[in-house]
Amino acid sequence: MARDRTPAELVGATPEQPSFEITFDGRPITTLPGRSVAAALWSAGVLAWRTTRGDGRPRGAFCGIGHCYECLATVNGRPNRRACLVPARPGDTVTTQEGHGHAELAV
């Protein structure tokens, strides 16, 4: 059945470079070169990596093209990174972003 195959298998793609790991909230995630942080998280079954400022509702990728800002994440200690636009790199540390990402500023 087609849904049992990965997108790479469906198109016959064979990555030239080996997979690598990033971490999400301390959990190791294996991903492939060329994926965005959002795609890496999605492929690992992670659908939300931000909570809203007002009521803490979960958010993840929505538009996937950097227009909506729903996919904000903290990547390597930097808050407010659009996960759908940031390329995943070996060793990246991604953490759930709570609210506006600047809690230490108390704004």
Residue 15 domain flag: no
Residue 14 domain flag: no
Could you tell me which residues come within 8 angstroms of residue 29 by beta carbon, excluding any fewer than 6 positions away?
A: 21, 22, 23, 40, 41, 44, 46
Residue 44 domain flag: yes
Residue 47 domain flag: yes
pLDDT at 63: 84
The pTM of the full predicted model, rounded to 2 decimals, is 0.77
Residue 104 domain flag: no
pLDDT at 73: 92
Q: How many domains does the chain have?
A: 1
| SS3 labels along the chain | CHHHCCHHHHHCCCCCCCCEEEEECCEEEEECCCCEHHHHHHHCCCCCCEECCCCCCEECCCCCCCCCCCCEEEECCEEEEECCCCECCCCCEEECEECCCCHHHCC
Residue 68 structural domain: 20-98
CATH number for the domain harbouring residue 41: 3.10.20.440
Residue 52 domain flag: yes
Tens digit of each residue's pLDDT, the chain (107 residues): 446 777 666 656 566 788 999 999 999 999 999 899 999 999 999 998 988 888 888 888 888 888 888 889 999 999 999 999 999 999 999 999 876 655 554 44
